[in-house]
Structure formats: C-alpha cells, structure tokens
Amino acid sequence: MTRRERAAWWGLGVLLLLHVVVVTYGNGFSGGAAAGLVQNALHFAPGLLVAVHARRTGPAWPFLAAGLLAYATGNLYWWLFVRELDPEPLVTPADPLWLAFYPCFGTALVLLLRRRLPRVSGTAWMDGVIAAAAVSSLTSVPILAAVEPAPHSTMLGVVVNAAYPLADIAVTGCLLGAWALCGWRADRVLGLLIAGMGLFATADAVSMVLLWQGADVPPWVDLMWILGLIVLALAARQPDGRIRASRPSVLLSTVVPSVLAVFCLGLLLYAALTDHTVDAVSSVLAGTAIAAGIIRMLASVRTAEALGAARRLARTDELTGLANRRFFVERLDSELDRPGPELAVAYVDLDRFKEVNDSFGHDVGDNLLRLVGARMRESLGGDVLLARLGGDEFGLIMPGTGRERAAEIVDGVLRTLREPFVLPEVDLHVDASVGIALCPDDGADRSTLLRRADVAMYAAKSGHGGGPVFATGLDDHARARLTMLEELRTGLERGELVLHYQPKVTVDADARVTGVEALVRWQHPTRGLVYPDAFLYTAESADLMGRITAVVLDLACRQSRAWLDAGLSVPVAVNLSVSDLRDPAFPEQVGELLRRYGLPITALELEVTESVLMTDADEALAQLGRLGEMGIRLAVDDYGTGYSSLSYLRVLPVDDLKLDRTFVSRCVSDPRSAAIVHSTVQLAHSLGMHIVAEGVEDADIFERLRGFGCDLAQGYGIARPQSADRITAWLLGREITQKTAA
C-alpha cells in the first residue's frame, strides 16, 4: 500500500467517524448539505479506493470498483433529486444504478473464484449448491413473508423494490457457496465479502420493509450500507492469490452442509405440518438444497468406501495379503508410544530364495512367498503382527513379549517353515534366518530396534545353529562386522568406493605396458582407505557384490575414457563375482556401459577366480561364452588356488591365465614352485592362452619368468597399485602396447 493510499484510508476512517457523530448527535443536522456531502463522500470513497487498487491486480476487482461506484452514483442522484420528493416514488433513475451493483459484484466473485480455485472437486460443488440454495431459502422466508406491496405501488415498483432483497439473498447465498467451494477454509477475502454483503442485505431488507410500510428509514440503516461498502473495499485490499492446497476443515465440510440441508428439510416439514405457507421461491431453493445434500451424502459414502479400500491397499502387501512395510512401521510406532513398552521385533529372511527364482522362475518364487506368508500367519497368535517388508523378508512385532517368549514364537515359525511346500512344479524346503531385537534392552525407538534386528538377522544368515539370533547376544566381532556392512551400504550410496590401478607389463627387456588391473578400495570417512579383503567377503554374504561390481565397472570405464582422451590406450581389467555370473542381463549391461562411454571392446577385460567358476559351472561357462562372443578379453585369476581340473580348463572360453602369487613369489628360491610356474606357462601356451604372473616382487623373479617364457607380469616389483592420478603419471613415461584378443 502506497503512502497516498494509506492516507486515503485514514481519511475514510475520519469521515466515517464524523458521520457516526452526526447521525448520533446531529439533532436534525443529518439532513443538511454538509451531512449529505459527508455521506456521499463515504459512498464514493470505497469504490475509488478499489479502483486505484484494481489497476495493479487481476480482473476481479475492476468489476467490484465499477459496482461500488455505480451504487455511489445512484445514492448521489437520490440525494440530489429524489430525497425531497413527497411522497417518494418507488421507482427512480437511481434504482438502475443501485441494481447495477449486483451483476458487477457477481462478475467479480466469479473471476475471483476462477483465479483462486484452479480445480474444484465434485463434493465441493455439491457443498456450494447446498450452501447457496439453503442460505437463499432460509433468508428469503422472513423477507418475503414480511413484504406486502403498498397500496399505491405499481407492478414495476413491486418488481424493482423486490429485486434488492432477492439480489442480496442470491449474492449472499453465492458467497456461502463460494466458501464451500474453497473447502470451508478460513479466508480473509471471502470472509470480508460475506460480512460486507451481510450488512448490505440486512440494510436492504430493513429499508424495503419500512418503505413499503410507509415508514421513514432511520439513519443507522444508511450507516449499515456505508459499513458494507467499506468492508467490501477492505476485501480488495487483502493479499490475493490462489487458495492454499491445505486440507479443508473436516468438521466444517461435514457439519455445515448437513446442518443447512436439515434446516431446509425442517422448513418444508414445518410448512407441511402447520397452516403456515412458504413462498414458492423459498420452497424451490430448500428442495434444491435437500437434493444436493442427498447427492453429497451418497458421494461421501462412495468416497469413504474408496478411501477405506485405498487405505487397506496402501497398508497391505499385494502378493501375500499380509501387512506391508508402511503398516509395519505405523504399528511399531504405535506400540512404542504406549507407556513402558515391552516388545520384540524380528526380521525373518528366507535362505537361498534367490536360487529358487533363478532355478524355477519368478512365478514359482511368488507362489512360494504366498504359501510362506499363509503358513507363518497360521502359526502366529492374533496379537503378533506379521508383515512382508519386501522381497523375501518378513517382519514380526510381538507386543508384551520378552526374550524367552520371543524365542518360542520364532522357533514355532521356523518349525512350520521347514515342512515342505508343495508346488505344481516342485516340492521345496525352506529355511530362514531370524534376528530379534528387544525393547527396551536393544533400543527404545523404531530406528534403533529395526537396525539391531537387521544386524542380528545378518548374523543369523552368516551361520548359526538354526535358531534365531538376538541382537543382545551378538559378540563384539559380529557387531563390528555387521556395523561395517551397514556403513558399506551407505558408502555405496555416497560414492565412497574408489579404484587403484596396477599395471601389467610384458616379460621382456622393454617391459611394455599392456593394461592395468582395477583394484577396489573403500574411502571410509573415518577409517581412511579400507582394502578389499576387509569388506568384500561380508559384501558377498550380504548379496552386495552385484552393486559393487556395477560401481567398479562404471569407474573403470570412466577412467578408461579419460585415458583415451589423453592419448593413452590402456585396457582395464575388472574382477567379477558369483553374482555377476548368475545375472542373465550382465553381458548386456557391460555392452551398454561400453556404449555409454564410447569405448572399444578392447578397453575392458574381465577376470574370474576359480572359486567363482566352480560355484555354478554351467551358468558360469554360459555367461563367459556370451562375454567372449562380444569380443571381451577374459582371464582366470588366482589360478592354482582352486579345484578346477584340466578337462574343465580345456573348455573355459578364456584368453589369459593369471598364476597366483603364492607360486610366483617363490619360483627363485623353491624348485617345486619354479617347476609349477614353468609347467603352467607351457600348459597355457599349449591351450592358446597367455600367462600372467602375479606377485612379481623383484628383478630376479622377473628374469626367471622371462626364462620360462612367461608373457605378462604384475606385482610390487613393477609398480604398486596406485590412484588414477599417480598411475597416469607413471603411464606417461612408459611404452604402451595394447593386446588383441587371442
């Protein structure tokens, strides 16, 4: 608000106070020219203030300003030309100006609602109809009943003078309807509009009744009109904008429409059961409100049913029909809010469930989960909540349960699960790993309890006597290991894994670089650089190796792209895990990664250990075959430490054998180790493979390998694993030769 506008509002306040004093204590002075000047100024001022404000706002307020100024002009005409006439005519040229206020106000209201309500629900429309019709009906009854045309009135006079209260009734009803459309939310703009029109309608009704009865209109009625105009102008001064998308008042949106519809029904029943008659207009409006109320009630019932169904679905697992994670969390919070809670929380995870999906398909796995859920539910009492938390993991909430009782409940669940499940495709036996956390022993809040139960469950999965594991029974080593597992999960999300690179060189006088091996490290925020032997085994047991390999492959390809851009063609070798060879989509993921970074097939090499190959030989051979067909170079890592036979080695679709460091590091001092290295070199060459010697610690070992005819070597004697920046500087001073696939 500008300084001039603020001064204008203060001036309006002073004029209003002066008018009140004149009306109250004027003793006849209120009819003089000065009083008329003050009164007309009070009529024009609200319209002018709204007009000034309307220049900077939306399209609604100009119409309100036009209506207010038209009303003020009509009042000026009446004061100058009609006031002194005796008798005062029922219809004058001032009436069209006064009546023009209503269509202008209605247009402003419609435009205001369009701006402030982008979307309106069906129930809000019903509430609007109920409010508008009911208020119009109930207010029209006393007005229309009290009005009787004066003896000297004409039909035009009746129509024109009846238009005022009827228009007031309609506009007030529409305002109540607009409030309903807004969800019965508290809104200053609508509140001021309703208050202003309430004053206006009251003054019009009183004036009309007195005029038709031949009585003089008292000065306080004029004051009500003026106050109504000022309140309407104040509505235009409120901050404009859309209605906030907050939840409407449930009490108001339910009670107000119902009360209004009941009042209308009472009005019609009163007219039907007594000798009193109700005007046809009031009856039609009341009937409209009742009909809208019935429709609203039916819509509310259907909405309630839909909400109830949606609420059930939102808290129910679609596959098993058990409670889902959302309901599990809500129930746990509710139990913990009770005073002095004693309860147990258990995580139940099916063992080797992934093998069921991989071997028989996801349909069989889904059927098994349904049967598991149903059997577990039958074995539990009604006070225990069973929920499927996701995948093959279930949760139990056992209120009022201590350690011994929780163990009994979980033992019963495990016994029922060990009975075979009969499926159309196969009979399956299921076992599960269960971790239990107790409140308050293991924690008094949801986050702590669930974390401790999860840690206990992973301890159970790592190997125990077949029963549940309590969080309070874990030793310090298990706690530390499982805490590290949770930190690793977080580290994967935060991007804490980094790669160090160790070069491979030719075993000749030039020692040319043929590639590097990517070795993963964990840049822990507090422990510093953590080496893979400290976390990879735990990650494999927790089924995290697939995620780790995906991160390592992405980092390796990104670095390879950076080296290519710098003019260094350096293939990068990455180790694979059991999870990778079990994933049918893994070859396509590798191809997509190479395409994403614009790398040639020769930029990436993949390595697998003998133990990984022996875990699922047939599937591993099939996956390696698909990768080999893509042109990716493959190697068997740590050769000599596993259990593969020569016949198995014959069918492996690999290009390189990487001889383990335990033989290479002793090939100078130990004749047996030297014989193994020499024979393995000859074996690899006879199979058309290259041999890579790991663990080359010094020049003597390098020279011995050269004498054996070894192809490639890597180890601390050549270069230690280093970060990308350091190994790049090392590579820039070396001759690089890229191998082609054998």
Sheet order of strands, 393-399 included: 385-390, 393-399, 343-350, 432-439, 469-470
pLDDT score recorded for residue 244: 45
Q: Which of 44-48, 219-223, 298-302, 534-538 has the highest mean pLDDT?
A: 44-48
Amino acid at 237: R
Q: What is the pLDDT of residues 89-134, one digit of tens each?
A: 778 888 899 889 888 888 887 787 777 665 555 555 666 666 666 6
Domains of the chain by residue range: 3-298, 325-474, 488-732
Torsion angle of C-alpha atoms 492, 494, 496, 499, degrees rounded to 10: 70
Residue 332 near residue 449, CB atoms below 8 Å: yes
Query: What fold is seen in the domain 488-732?
Result: TIM Barrel (3.20.20)
pLDDT score recorded for residue 127: 63
Residue 499 near residue 559, CB atoms below 8 Å: yes
The pairing of beta strand 421-422 with beta strand 427-428 = antiparallel
The Cα 190–Cα 397 span in angstroms is 50
The pairing of beta strand 572-575 with beta strand 604-609 = parallel
pLDDT score recorded for residue 131: 63
Residue 294 near residue 262, CB atoms below 8 Å: no
- Three-state secondary-structure class, residue 328: helix
Per the listing, tokens 């995580």 go with: 347
Per the listing, tokens 């593969």 go with: 644
Q: What is the pLDDT of residues 483-513, one digit of tens each?
A: 788 888 889 999 999 999 999 999 998 889 9
For the segment 176-199, the average pLDDT, to the nearest whole number, is 74
The Cα 643–Cα 649 span in angstroms is 10
Position 301 pLDDT exceeds 70: no
Residue 450 near residue 440, CB atoms below 8 Å: no
Tokens of 117: 């309500």
Residue 342 near residue 401, CB atoms below 8 Å: yes
For the segment 204-220, the average pLDDT, to the nearest whole number, is 70
Instruction: Please report how many Cα atoms fall inside a 13 Å half-sphere around the Cα of residue 603, on the Cβ side.
Output: 24
End-to-end CA separation in angstroms for the chain? 83
pLDDT score recorded for residue 598: 95
Rg (CA), the chain: 44
Q: Which of 233-237, 449-453, 579-583, 679-683 has the highest mean pLDDT?
A: 679-683
Number of Cβ atoms within 10 Å of the Cβ of 158: 16
CATH, domain range 325-474? 3.30.70.270
Q: What is the pLDDT of residues 283-297, one digit of tens each?
A: 776 777 777 767 766
pLDDT score recorded for residue 257: 66
Residue 521 near residue 500, CB atoms below 8 Å: yes
Please state the three-class secondary structure of 172-183 as a single string. Answer: HHHHHHHHHHCC
Tokens of 338: 């009770």
Beta strands in 430-479 (DSSP E): 432-439, 469-470
Tokens of 563: 């080296």
For residue 105, give the nearest of 36, 194, 40 by alpha carbon.
194
pTM for the structure as a whole:
0.46
The Cα 205–Cα 721 span in angstroms is 95
* Strand-pair partners of 513: 505, 736
| Environment class of 494 (CB within 10 Å of its CB; exposed 0-12, middle 13-18, buried 19+) | exposed
Position 558 pLDDT exceeds 80: yes
Q: How far is CA 167 from CA 64, 133, 175, 226, in A?
A: 15, 13, 12, 18
The Cα 708–Cα 683 span in angstroms is 12
Q: How confident is the model at residue 245 (pLDDT cuts 50, 70, 90)?
A: very low
For residue 282, give the nearest of 150, 93, 146, 109 by alpha carbon.
146
139 or 644, which is more confident: 139
Tokens of 515: 């590639």
Residue 238 near residue 50, CB atoms below 8 Å: no
Residue 199 near residue 228, CB atoms below 8 Å: yes
Q: In percent, how much of the chain has pLDDT > 90?
A: 27
- Three-state secondary-structure class, residue 125: helix
Amino acid at 667: C
The Cα 656–Cα 106 span in angstroms is 86
Mean residue pLDDT across the chain: 80
Tokens of 639: 């050769």
- Cβ contacts of residue 317 below 8 Å, gap of 6+? 323, 324, 373, 387, 388
pLDDT score recorded for residue 679: 93
pLDDT score recorded for residue 524: 92
Number of Cβ atoms within 10 Å of the Cβ of 364: 17
The pairing of beta strand 572-575 with beta strand 528-530 = unpaired
- Cβ contacts of residue 75 below 8 Å, gap of 6+? 39, 40, 43, 94, 98
For the segment 592-614, the average pLDDT, to the nearest whole number, is 87
Per the listing, tokens 């953590």 go with: 530
pLDDT score recorded for residue 565: 93
